[in-house]
Structure 1
């Protein structure tokens, strides 16, 4: 794998960056009163998606370790995996977006975009290569039916 930083740690780092921008670059903060409810909504959706996707992996007796895709025992394609090939990463993204509503700042946008770009390039694409090598046509067919993020 190209990424050696666990995705949850990357998410926490991005959340910290959003908070730091809000605290130390206040002239780029946005006045978006009333968006705290959106923060809670995105946070709740993100955590629920992470939990649901993780439970499906456990139910299907396959690994949730992002650094060992070769230990995957099956292609999980039910539940949230019908709309996203990476619902765990999507859940992490929703949690990150929730912080942008909680601490609105123009610099949150490039942090979020950077998170998506980094995860795609260094985590998701290498996982896809490994899963294609392991599951071949089954995973290729899944890739044509379901988008990478949403």
Structure 2
């Protein structure tokens, strides 16, 4: 696997991957499914509050997680990984914050657009992500980082965040 060798290459690769992967999965495809048609929730403004909160939180955590990869001189893309295992920021609470952020964005849009199609899409994305994590990502990280990753995996849950940050 090639690593991004310079900070500039890491940031460029990270931004490109952001647009190519989550940009398509959490942006373009939900738009195509929903037609970007907002659902009229009438006086149920609380639904819009939760929808926008889920989208905003997802975007914030996604950008945070992506930035951590660039800071570690790599990208989230499997072809240009980081030089070291990323266990800072959101990764101290949960091993898969990017995937959870993408799902939050999709589910927020499902509420915003009142789209059951997006709920079904979110379930499909979750199944695909779990299969990818179990079939490729976890074995690759174990092979690459060895005991450091296994220790991290023992202490930080994959899908449900810890209440307190993990300290190595």
Q: Shared topology, TM-score over 0.5? A: yes
Cα deviation digits, residues 45-76 of structure 1 (max 9, x gap)? 011101111222222223221x326x331111
Counterpart position of 2:75: 63
- Root-mean-square deviation (Å): 2.5
- Does residue 102 (structure 1) correspond to residue 112 (structure 2)? The answer is yes
- Does residue 39 (structure 1) correspond to residue 54 (structure 2)? The answer is no
Equivalent pair of 2:69/2:82 in contact (CA under 8 Å):
no
In 2, the alpha carbon distance for the partners of 1:72 and 1:128 equals 15
In 1, the alpha carbon distance for the partners of 2:130 and 2:91 equals 17
Equivalent pair of 1:36/1:101 in contact (CA under 8 Å):
yes
TM-superposed CA distance for 1:8, in Å, is 3.6
- Of 138, 142, 146, the residue aligned with 2:152 is 142
Give 5+ residue unaligned stretches, structure 1: 24-28
Count residues in correspondence: 137
Give 5+ residue unaligned stretches, structure 2: 1-19, 161-168
Counterpart position of 2:11: none
In 1, the alpha carbon distance for the partners of 2:21 and 2:116 equals 26
Counterpart position of 2:62: 50
Equivalent pair of 2:34/2:117 in contact (CA under 8 Å):
no
Counterpart position of 1:82: 92
Equivalent pair of 1:18/1:100 in contact (CA under 8 Å):
no
- Does residue 10 (structure 1) correspond to residue 25 (structure 2)? The answer is yes
TM-score, normalization by structure 1: 0.77
TM-score, normalization by structure 2: 0.69
In 2, the alpha carbon distance for the partners of 1:76 and 1:104 equals 36
Note the 1:118-133 alignment, pairs <5 A.
118-122=128-132, 124-125=133-134, 126-133=136-143
Q: Say which SS state the counterpart of residue 70 (structure 2) adopts.
A: helix
